[in-house]
């Protein structure tokens, strides 16, 4: 996924400034949550130099002046070209699902824990996933009430299904741990 194209997409919807763009990225695209300000501002400066975006100094009635970023026609075309392309649509066969759920890193080493410790970790994850699912369901209701973009609603429903799968997988894992503990006795 390209930070450049995400920024162009966000700016095509609404102008913004660096800090606000970072917040919008994190809010809408969680996989960019680790982006730091250095990366963001370096990318914005590059895009401005290439003529994809431009800055306008806006002086509000109260508060300091802000540098508002706008997408240029050249930037809009670059964004649409990327959106229509097949770039970043096929990652090939990777274990990228492991990045999406960091708990897998610990599960890889459960053999170093006592069975009850591993089960406690799994139970804790089940509880966290159920809490997260409940929060997602509430967000979904809010989105539906305010007639949010149907594509964003569809993304959230994917997240809900993924959480349901995680909860089911964790329950199965807990069952495996119980069976292993019984067999060891």
Q: How far apart are CA 62 and CA 185, in angstroms?
A: 72
What's the mean pLDDT when you consider all of the chain?
A: 87
H or E, element range at 2: none
| Whether residues 9 and 72 fall in one domain | yes
- The predicted pLDDT at position 69 comes to 94
**Is residue 102 packed enough to be buried (19+ CB in 10 Å), middle (13-18) or exposed (0-12)?**
exposed
pLDDT digits (tens, 9 = 90+) for 129-176: 999 999 999 999 999 999 999 999 999 999 999 999 999 999 999 999
| CATH number for 75 | 1.10.10.10
Q: Which residue has the higher pLDDT, 68 or 2?
A: 68
Last-in-domain residue among 35, 55, 84: 84
| Whether residues 102 and 59 fall in one domain | no
C-beta of residue 86 within 8 angstroms of C-beta of residue 64? no
- The predicted pLDDT at position 145 comes to 96
């Amino acid at each position: 996924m390209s930070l450049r194209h995400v920024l162009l997409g966000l700016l095509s919807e609404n102008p913004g400034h660096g800090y606000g763009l970072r917040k919008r990225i994190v809010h809408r695209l969680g996989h960019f949550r680790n982006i730091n300000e250095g990366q963001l501002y370096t990318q914005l400066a590059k895009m401005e130099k290439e003529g994809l975006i431009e800055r306008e100094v806006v002086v509000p009635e109260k508060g300091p002046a802000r540098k508002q970023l706008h997408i240029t026609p050249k930037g809009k075309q670059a964004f649409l070209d990327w959106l229509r392309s097949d770039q970043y649509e096929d990652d090939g066969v990777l274990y990228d699902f492991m990045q999406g759920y960091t708990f897998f890193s610990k599960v890889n080493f459960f053999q170093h824990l006592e069975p009850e410790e591993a089960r406690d970790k799994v139970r804790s994850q089940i509880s966290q996933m159920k809490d997260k699912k409940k929060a997602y369901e509430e967000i979904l209701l809010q989105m539906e009430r305010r007639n949010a973009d149907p594509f964003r609603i569809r993304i959230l429903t994917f997240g809900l299904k993924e959480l349901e799968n995680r909860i089911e997988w964790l329950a199965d894992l807990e069952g495996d741990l119980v069976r292993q503990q019984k067999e060891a006795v």
